[in-house]
Structures are given as C-alpha cells and as structure tokens.
Amino acid sequence: MTTRISAPIAIVDEHPEWSSRLIAELESRRLPFEKIDHSNHAYDPRDRRPRYSVVVNRSSPSSHRRGHGSVLFYAEALLNHYEALGIPVINPVAAYRFEKSKALQADLFERLGVRYPRTVVFNHSDQALKALDGFRFPVVVKPNVGGSGAGIVRFDTRGELEAALPALALGPDGTALLQEFLEAEGDAIVRIEVLDGRYLYAIRIVRGAASFNLCPADVCQVPAPTPVAGACPVDASGTLEVTRFEPPADAVAQAIALTRAASIDVGGVEYLVSRADGQRYFYDVNATSNFVADAPRVLGFDPFKPFVDFIERIAVEGRAAA
C-alpha cells in the first residue's frame, strides 16, 4: 500500500548502516523520507515549522563508542524540539531517557515488580565498596550509559573488584551499576521485540565465551549447514547463535508492560533464566531495535514490514491521544 503523506518521514540515526533495511522498505513503498545524522546537526528553536510527518528516533547510547559522544545529550534536546512542534515521535524523548540509562531501567524493573539482578547504582568507587557486603560474587560493573555491552566488566572475587574499582571507567556520565552476575541456563538469553504495544517476536541467543555484546543484528550465527552470505552486517566469527523462540505468556506480558511504562513504541526487552534458581530475570530494555539479521529465515517474516506499516500509519493519522 502506498499512501500520500503530508511531509517526509524523518529517521534520526547517526549510525551509517543501522537504518539500511528500514530505508530499503521505505523506498520500496515510495515513501518520502530524510535521514538525519545528528552527530553533525543543528536546529533553530525559533523555527516552528513542522517539517516532518513523523520522526523515527533511532538514537543509541552506543554512539559514544563510534566517536559520536555529543549525540548522547544532543538527541534529547532535538527530540524534545520535534515533540514541542507537535510532530509525532516514534520512541520519544521519554523512551530515549530509558534507553540511555541502565539506572532508570533498574528503577523501572523495581516499580513494575519485575525480577532483576541485585543492583546498586553509584557514582563513586567508595559507594560501590560500601555496597559489597550485600552481594554474591561474581559481579559485573556496568556503565549507566552503555550500548551493545560496552564497558561491562566481570569480577569473580571481592579482591579483584576492590583492586580495579578506583581506576574503573564509569562511563560518559560518571555513573555505573554494581550488579550480581547470573549464570544463564544454556548460556542463553531471550530478547522479546515489541511493536506498538504488541508482541512482535522473540529470539533465543546463545552467546560466546565472556561476551556481553548480544546484539543479534550486529553479530550473529544463524544455525544452518551452510551459513547464508550476508546474513550478518559484520563478521560473526561464531560469536552468537540465534533462533526463534516462544517465551511464556507472562514473560511477554511483562515485556509489554515494561515498554509501555518506558514510552517505547518499538524495542526489545531481554531476560535470562538463572542457572542457580531457575527464575527469570530481566536485565535490559532497548529503545533502538535493528531486529535480527536474516530475519525471514530466522523468524519466517520480515519485521521491518510491520514496522513501516506502523510508521506509515502514524505519519498519516498522527498519534492517538493518551
């Protein structure tokens, strides 16, 4: 279906490749769009003209790992500007705040009564050391602003952590999380993708040794006798194994509740089942979703098609009043 829309669709994304599949779907429908690289950008608050029919926010906290650290804070101001003009924003500024703060995510888990690993948020090594008596080892220290597992360090003993913590980088905002490390059953995690408040699909990801980068769109290994050329944007090197998965209904309900509470229109929520107690623990909420590589093969459908259906509907109809 091709629909006339009043103004172009804006895609806010500083990554050179992450929106390529989204753009391909927009082009196939002949929908007008503009890709905004907000790593090199400016706006005038006096300009009150709504230039876009909808803004698709694909800002990621991992931007600072690509030399685009200014995006971390500029994105919030830019998205706020678009929202103030009355332009519908998919994954608005409220969603972006949760995307870039693992501390806010921990509070979200607590507020919604979702099980998550024991966590303390701190901004000075003294505070992390004071909290150690309440933790079981191993533990990890996570920068509050991360992205794709960036900066996460595991410590197996108290001595290791005490020795490393004073010099440990806490991330762009000087804030980090001390968190109990849970061994996952089968070394696997589950990512549930949600679109417009509805379950889209889920995948099970078996990670490689000592890897915290579990982005199935960036690095994946689809189980197959012969790997498909181009299945992953970068060389997988056998790091991850990704398969479609049907999680329990209550896990899906929790993921939907988390994304709704975080104002996330499209995103992924991740959990693991602890090897120690068999319980489910949520640990990450993502408002930037690139979906799984080689999706038609892994899932049986292309998730960018319903994603663009949603974008097109918002571009034409706007966002319904809450």
Q: How confident is the model at residue 63 (pLDDT cuts 50, 70, 90)?
A: low
Give the pLDDT of residue 64.
60
Distance CA(268)–CA(256), nearest Å, equals: 10
Q: How many CA atoms lie within 13 A of 164 on its CB side?
A: 16
Encode pLDDT of 214-230 as tens digits.
454 544 333 433 333 22
Assigned CATH topology for domain 9-98+306-315: Rossmann fold (3.40.50)
Mean pLDDT score, 2-17 = 85
Mean pLDDT score, 20-32 = 96
Structure tokens at 66: 């690509």
Judged against a pLDDT cut of 80, whether residue 188 lies above it is answered with yes
Query: What is the per-residue DSSP string for 166-200?
Result: GG----TTS-EEEEE--PEEEEEEEEEEEETTEEE
- Looking only at the bridges linking them, the beta strands covering 54-57 and 9-12 are parallel
Assigned CATH topology for domain 183-299: D-amino Acid Aminotransferase; Chain A, domain 1 (3.30.470)
Q: Does residue 178 come out as left (phi exceeding 0), alpha (psi in the -120 to 50 range) or beta? A: beta
pTM beyond 0.85: the answer is yes
Is 119-180 a domain of CATH 3.40.50.300?
A: no
- Sequence-ordered list of residues with C-beta below 8 angstroms from that of 203, at least 6 positions apart, any chain: 190, 191, 193, 216, 242, 243, 244, 245, 292, 298, 299
- What residue has token string 């629909």? 3
